Amino acid sequence: MINILKNIYFPFEGKEVKGSLIFTDKIKTFIHGDDIEISVEGNTIDGEEKLLLPGFIDSHVHFNTPGFTHRETFEKGTRGAIKGGVTTIMDMPCTSLPPVVGKDEFENKYNVVKNDAWCDYAFHGGISANLFDKKDFEIFTTVSELASKGVTALKVYTLSGMETFKHLDNFQLMKTMRAAAHKGLTVMIHAEDASIITHLQNKYISEDKNKPLHYYNSRPEEAELVAINNVAYFSTLTGAKIHIVHISTYEGVKLVQNWRERGANITCETCPQYLEFNFNDLIEQGSILKTAPVIKTPEDSKNLWLELASGDIHFVTTDHAPCVFEKDKNTGSIWTDYGGIPGVEIIYPFLISEGYFKKKLTLDRLIEISCLNQSNLFGISRQKNGLRPGSDADFVLVDKNTEYKVDASTFESIGKYSPFSGKTFKGKIDNVFLRGEEVVKKGEILSKKGILIKR
pLDDT digits (tens, 9 = 90+) for 18-46: 999 999 999 887 877 655 566 677 889 99
Helix (H, G, I), strand (E, B) or coil at 170: helix
CA 290 to chain CA mean position, Å: 17
What integer is the mean pLDDT of 286-314?
98
Provide the mean pLDDT of the chain.
96
| 265 strand-pairing partners | 241
Give the total residue count for the chain. Answer: 455
Q: What is the mean pLDDT of residues 120-145?
A: 97
Mean pLDDT, residues 156-168: 97
Percent of the chain with pLDDT over 70: 98
Alpha carbon separation from 213 to 87, 204, 216, 266 (Å, rounded): 37, 11, 5, 32
Residue ranges per structural domain of the chain:
3-52+393-401+419-445, 55-377
pLDDT in tens, 61-118: 999 999 999 999 999 999 999 999 999 999 999 999 999 999 999 999 999 999 999 9
Flag whether pLDDT at 443 surpasses 60.
yes
Mean pLDDT within 263-290: 97
pLDDT tens, 216-261? 999 999 999 999 999 999 999 999 999 999 999 999 999 999 999 9
Q: Tell me the backbone φ, ψ of residue 366, rounded to 5 degrees.
A: -60, -45
CB atoms within 10 A of CB 39: 5
Q: d(Cα 315, Cα 270) in Å, to the nearest integer? A: 7
Q: Please tell me the class of the 55-377 domain.
A: alpha beta
Query: pLDDT category, 262, cuts 50, 70, 90?
Result: very high
Which amino acid is it at 46? D
Residue pair 273/289 in contact by the 8 Å Cβ criterion: yes
Pick the CATH number of 3-52+393-401+419-445 from 2.40.50.100, 2.30.40.10, 2.40.30.10, 3.30.360.10: 2.30.40.10
pTM score, whole prediction: 0.97
